[in-house]
Amino acid sequence: MQLTLTGKQIDVGDALRRHIEGSLSSILGKYFGSAIEAHVVVSREAHLSRAEISVRIGRGIVVNAHAAASELYAAFDAGAERVAKQLRRYKRRLRDHHGKARDAAADGELAMAYVLAPLSEDDDEDPAAADGENPEAGDAPAVIAEMSTELPHLTVGEAAMCMDLADSPVLLFRNRSHGELNLVYRRADGNIGWIDPQLDAARRHAS
């Protein structure tokens, strides 16, 4: 496992690195096997220490967790326990998915992900938009960053699992059962929503 440890407003030493690497290796060995890479960011804000953990354990599977405590080691340990809890919850399904991901490795595809600047308050009163006219290209939100990301091929259950593990509010994926783009998202009531576009039978059969 390749470990990247970053400290913000705090010094990180060999003892902390050994603790983090040993803890994550133990957790992953118990519930999954091994990880490809792990990123841990530790920081201090006022009287609190914070730890953010991101572990990539397989194709399309990323586990994210974060925690805060008065002591740095306690913050990391709390975050690591959340990683363990997630892996424990999905242990069987992760192993099944790992085998399927190896078999379908050639089917992966890439998509572009963009980070947009928030709209200003003036944009809410755009007269062209109010009249139904097409706004000028310059009025579009500014692109802050763009990156390539993998568009996974998953079942709906696997997509919900991946979204939960990544602690993400939404996940776009290609539905393995019919090949079309689908979306799962976390609803305000705590349930998970699923959007599956209605397609004609011929198109679904062709896919």
User: pLDDT for 94-115, tens place per residue?
Assistant: 877 665 655 544 556 888 888 8
Q: What is the pLDDT of residue 146?
A: 87
- What are the extents of the domains in the chain? 2-97, 152-207
Q: What is the pLDDT of residue 19?
A: 96
Parallel, antiparallel, or unpaired for β 2-8 and 37-45? parallel
Provide mean pLDDT across the span 184-196: 95
Evaluate whether 139 touches 180 at the Cβ level (below 8 Å): no
Name which residue leads in pLDDT, 122 or 111.
111
- 65 CB neighbour count, 10 Å cutoff: 21
Q: What is the pLDDT of residue 151?
A: 85
pLDDT digits (tens, 9 = 90+) for 23-60: 999 998 888 777 789 999 999 988 899 999 999 987 77
Q: Bridge partners of 186? A: 192
The encoded tokens of residue 56 equal 């990539």
Evaluate whether 51 touches 110 at the Cβ level (below 8 Å): no
Contacts of 90 (CB under 8 A, 6+ apart): 161, 164, 165
CATH architecture of residue range(s) 152-207: 2-Layer Sandwich (3.30)
Rounded-to-integer distance, Cα 204 and Cα 164, Å:
28
Q: What is the pLDDT of residue 165?
A: 92
CATH architecture of residue range(s) 2-97: 2-Layer Sandwich (3.30)
Evaluate whether 63 touches 87 at the Cβ level (below 8 Å): yes
Rounded-to-integer distance, Cα 206 and Cα 102, Å:
25
User: Mean pLDDT score of the chain, rounded to an integer?
Assistant: 83
